[in-house]
C-alpha cells in the first residue's frame, strides 16, 4: 500500500509539473490571441489547478512539522503572500484580487511541496519525466502543423504544445538545464540526457526565442566557470565576481538591443512594444507607489487603468512584460522591497553554499535563480499563477539547506510514507 501511495504521489508531481509548464493549454484555450492569459481563460484549467492545490495542501498536511519549519525559514515569502492577500483591502477590484491570490498561494505551496518533500536529485528526475513527455509531444504537434505559429509578425516560429513561441523557448531552456544536471548526476544515463539536451536546443532555435537561446549559451559558460572557481584564492573570487557581472551585463545588453543582435523578433509586439509599455506602466506605478493596485487586478479587463492602457496599445498586453514592474504595479515598493531582499538573500545563499560545499546541486540552483532574474527583464514569472518558473524558484529557495540538498535517494525511499525527511542539521 505504501509503495502504491508513493507511485501515486510521484505521478501527481510529474503531472503537476507538466501542467505548470502550460503544456497542451492550447487544446482548451482560444489561441487566436497570442497574448492570451492562461490563468483566466478556461474553467477546465481552473478546475485542474484547484485539484492540484487541494492535493498539495493534503500532502503538506501529512508532513506538517516539516512544512511549518520550512515556512518559518523564509518569513519574507510569508510576508509577501500576506501582503498580496491584504492588497484586496485597497484594490478597486477586491474579488479579483482574492481569486488570484488563492491561485498564487496554491502555486507557491506546490513549489514548497516540491522543495521540501523531494531531494534536489529527485526534483530533477521528476522534471526530467515531465519534459521527457513534453519534448516528443512538441515534435508531434510541429509535424502536424499545430505546433507552428502563423501570426504575421512571427510566422513559422515553433511553439510546440505551448501557447506561444516564447513559452516553448522558456520551457526548453528549463528542460536543457534539467537534463544537463541529470547527465552530471547520473553518468550511466549521459547519452540519453545528451539527446534530450540536443532536442531541447533544437526546439529553442526553431522557436526563434533569441533570449532563451542566448541565456542558454551564457548559463552554460557560467556553470563551467563557477565549477572550477573557489573562495580559497583571490583569482577564484575575482573569476566568480567577473563571471556573474559579465553574465548580467551581456544579458541586459542583448535584451534591450535584441533586434540589433538577432533578427528573430523583428516585428514581435512583445519585443518592439515593450519599452513604451514600460514607460506607461511606470507612470501608473508612481500614482500608487507604496502599495500598488492590488495583486492581479491591474490587468483585469474591467480595470479602469487597464482600459486606458489598451486604448493606446491595441495588442492588449495582459501583463507588464517585466517581472519587476509587475510586482510594483501589484504590490508597490513595499512588496517590491520584500521580494528583492528575500530573493537576493537566497541567491547569495545558493552561491555561498556551492563555494563551501562544492556540491553541483547548489550550483544548479544558483544558476536557475540567476537566470530567472534576467528572464524577468522582458517576461513575467515572479509571483505568477500556474507558472513553472515560479514553482521551480520557490522549490529551490526551500531546498537551500545543506542537509536537504544532499539527502541521497536511498534515504528518501527508506522514509515511511507520510513522515518527514531527515533534516541532517
pLDDT digits (tens, 9 = 90+) for 307-350: 777 677 766 677 888 899 999 999 999 999 999 999 999 998 98
Longest alpha-carbon distance in the chain: 59
- Please state, in angstroms and rounded to a whole number, the distance separating the CA atoms of residues 313 and 307: 10
What pLDDT is recorded for position 132? 95
Q: Summarize pLDDT for 252-277 with one digit per residue, the tens.
A: 555 555 444 444 444 444 445 677 88
What pLDDT is recorded for position 353? 85
In eight-state DSSP terms, residue 89 is G
Contacts of 106 (CB under 8 A, 6+ apart): 49, 50, 52, 53, 56, 57
Tell me the average pLDDT across 191-199. 94
Reported as a pLDDT band with limits 50, 70 and 90, residue 418 is very low
The helix/strand/coil state of 108 is: helix
- Please state, in angstroms and rounded to a whole number, the distance separating the CA atoms of residues 262 and 419: 52
Summary mean pLDDT of the chain = 81
In eight-state DSSP terms, residue 421 is P
Spacing of C-alpha 70 from chain mean position? 20
What are the C-alpha distances in Å from 208 to residues 97, 144, 145, 153, 293? 35, 19, 16, 12, 34
Name which of 31-35, 56-60, 186-190 the model is least confident about.
Answer: 31-35
| Residue matched to cell numbers 537566470 | 371
What pLDDT is recorded for position 1? 57
- Please state, in angstroms and rounded to a whole number, the distance separating the CA atoms of residues 158 and 139: 9
What pLDDT is recorded for position 30? 59
Q: Summarize pLDDT for 90-109 with one digit per residue, the tens.
A: 988 899 899 999 999 999 99
What pLDDT is recorded for position 152? 66
Reported as a pLDDT band with limits 50, 70 and 90, residue 248 is low
Name which of 34-38, 186-190, 225-229 the model is least confident about.
Answer: 34-38
Q: State yes or no: pLDDT of 162 exceeds 70.
A: yes
Q: State yes or no: pLDDT of 407 exceeds 60.
A: no
Amino acid at each position: 500500500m505504501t509503495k502504491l501511495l508513493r507511485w501515486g504521489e510521484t505521478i501527481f508531481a510529474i503531472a503537476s509539473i507538466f501542467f505548470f509548464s502550460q503544456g497542451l493549454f492550447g487544446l482548451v484555450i482560444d489561441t487566436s490571441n497570442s497574448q492570451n492569459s492562461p490563468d483566466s481563460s478556461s474553467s477546465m484549467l481552473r478546475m485542474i489547478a484547484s485539484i492540484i492545490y487541494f492535493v498539495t495542501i493534503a500532502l503538506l498536511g501529512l508532513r506538517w512539522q516539516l512544512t511549518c519549519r520550512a515556512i518559518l525559514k523564509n518569513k519574507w515569502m510569508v510576508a509577501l503572500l500576506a501582503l498580496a492577500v491584504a492588497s484586496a483591502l485597497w484594490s478597486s477590484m477586491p474579488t479579483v484580487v482574492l481569486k488570484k491570490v488563492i491561485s498564487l498561494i496554491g502555486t507557491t505551496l506546490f513549489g514548497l511541496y516540491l522543495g521540501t518533500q523531494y531531494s534536489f536529485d529527485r526534483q530533477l528526475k521528476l522534471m526530467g519525466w515531465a519534459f521527457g513527455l513534453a519534448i516528443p509531444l512538441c515534435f508531434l504537434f510541429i509535424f502536424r502543423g499545430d505546433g507552428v505559429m502563423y501570426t504575421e509578425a512571427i510566422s513559422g516560429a515553433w511553439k510546440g504544445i505551448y501557447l506561444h513561441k516564447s513559452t516553448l523557448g522558456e520551457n526548453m531552456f528549463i528542460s536543457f538545464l534539467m537534463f544537463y544536471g541529470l547527465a552530471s548526476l547520473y553518468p550511466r544515463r549521459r547519452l540519453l540526457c545528451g539527446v534530450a539536451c540536443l532536442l531541447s536546443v533544437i526546439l529553442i532555435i526553431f522557436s526563434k526565442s533569441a533570449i532563451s537561446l542566448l541565456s542558454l549559451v551564457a548559463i552554460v559558460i557560467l556553470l563551467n566557470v563557477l565549477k572550477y572557481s573557489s573562495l580559497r584564492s583571490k583569482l577564484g573570487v575575482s573569476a566568480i565576481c567577473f563571471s556573474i557581472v559579465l553574465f548580467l551585463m551581456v544579458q541586459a545588453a542583448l535584451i534591450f538591443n535584441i533586434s540589433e543582435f538577432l533578427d528573430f523578433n523583428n516585428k514581435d509586439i512583445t519585443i518592439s512594444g515593450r519599452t513604451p509599455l514600460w514607460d506607461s506602466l511606470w507612470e501608473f506605478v508612481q500614482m500608487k507607489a507604496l502599495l500598488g493596485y492590488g495583486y492581479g487586478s491591474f490587468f483585469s479587463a474591467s480595470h479602469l487603468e487597464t482600459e486606458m492602457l489598451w486604448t493606446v496599445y491595441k495588442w492588449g498586453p495582459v501583463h507588464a512584460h517585466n517581472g519587476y514592474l509587475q510586482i510594483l504595479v501589484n504590490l508597490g515598493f513595499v512588496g517590491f522591497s520584500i521580494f528583492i531582499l528575500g530573493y537576493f538573500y537566497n541567491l547569495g545563499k545558493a552561491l555561498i553554499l556551492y563555494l563551501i560545499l562544492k556540491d553541483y546541486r547548489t550550483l544548479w540552483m544558483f544558476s536557475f535563480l540567476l537566470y530567472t532574474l534576467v528572464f524577468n527583464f522582458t517576461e513575467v514569472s515572479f509571483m505568477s499563477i500556474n507558472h513553472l518558473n515560479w514553482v521551480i524558484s520557490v522549490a529551490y529557495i526551500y531546498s537551500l539547506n545543506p542537509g536537504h540538498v544532499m539527502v541521497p535517494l536511498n534515504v528518501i525511499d527508506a522514509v515511511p510514507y507520510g513522515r518527514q525527511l531527515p533534516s541532517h542539521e
